Amino acid sequence: MTVNYELLGKQLDSLMASEPDLLANSANFVGLLFAEIPNINWLGLYIVRESDLVLGPYNGRPACVRIPMGQGVCGSSASDARTLRVADVDQFSGHISCDPASKSEIVVPLIIDEVVIAVLDVDSPVYDRFSRQDQDGIEKLCRVFVARLRALGARHKNFI
Ligand code: SME
């Protein structure tokens, strides 16, 4: 069950092409990815606000609202400015469990002007759900999203 990330990137780009509203585009970004990536139970954005990550647009069950920078998989990805791919969340020291059904996850930082503005968190009920190929594909989708945000004038201080 592989995802055609190339095609998904084109769909995302055209979905965002005609709409200037950052929040609407962010909502559709998570909606499209949640609909098209199989075997996941949660996908959404955490937005950097001062020293916390705050819950943004997502699809899935209600989740933790505020994550301190540096904590959990999301906070670690944001503070290190790098993707974290976790095959078994119970083996990640400090993992924050919002839903006990989640077994693996991937978190990708979104960077504008060399500043992490948000992270995309994707959770799966399946252990080791995300391959290196998924990581490459999801990072590519995040680059498409960030390029559109930049074209709309988003800067690290005014992202939704
Ligand atoms: N598991 C994440 C918290 C966010 S929820 O899974 C939606 C973490 O450890 O940062």
Check: CB of residue 34 under 8 Å from CB of residue 43: yes
Q: Does 31 map to a domain?
A: yes
In a domain, 53, yes or no: yes
Q: Please state the domain count of the chain.
A: 1
What's the rounded mean pLDDT across residues 80-94? 97
Cβ of 98 closer than 6 Å to ligand 1, yes or no, is: yes
Q: How far is CA 75 from CA 47, 70, 124, 147, 148, in A?
A: 11, 4, 18, 23, 24
pLDDT band at 76 (very low <50, low <70, confident <90, very high): very high
CB distance 15 to ligand 1 below 6 Å: no
Confidence of residue 97 (pLDDT cuts 50, 70, 90): very high
Residue range 128-152, pLDDT digits in tens: 999 999 999 999 999 999 999 999 8
Q: Tell me if 159 is assigned to some domain.
A: no
Q: Does some domain include residue 62?
A: yes
What is residue 7's predicted lDDT score, i.e. its pLDDT? 98
In a domain, residue 145? The reply is yes
Looking at the domain assignment, is residue 38 inside a domain?
Answer: yes
Whether residue 160 lies inside any domain: the answer is: no
Domain that holds residue 127: 5-151
What's the pLDDT tens digit per position in 28-50? Answer: 999 999 999 999 999 999 999 99
Is the minimum distance from the CB of 63 to ligand 1 under 6 angstroms?
Answer: yes
Using CA atoms in the order 122, 125, 127, 132, what is the torsion angle rounded to 10 degrees? -30
Mutation probe of ligand 1 site: the residue of 123, 129, 130 with most atoms within 8 A of C-beta = 123
Q: With respect to residue 157, please indicate whether it lies within any of the assigned structural domains.
A: no
Token reading at 31: 């909606």
Distance 17 CA to ligand 1 centre (A): 30
Amino acid identity of residue 27, one-letter, is A
Q: How far, in Å, CA of 120 to CA of 46, rounded? A: 7
pLDDT at 51: 94
Atom of ligand 1 nearest to the CA of 60: 7
Ligand 1 centroid vs 1 CA: distance in angstroms? 24
CATH code (residue 64): 3.30.450.40
pLDDT value of position 75: 98
User: Ligand 1 in contact with 46 (CB < 6 A)?
Assistant: no
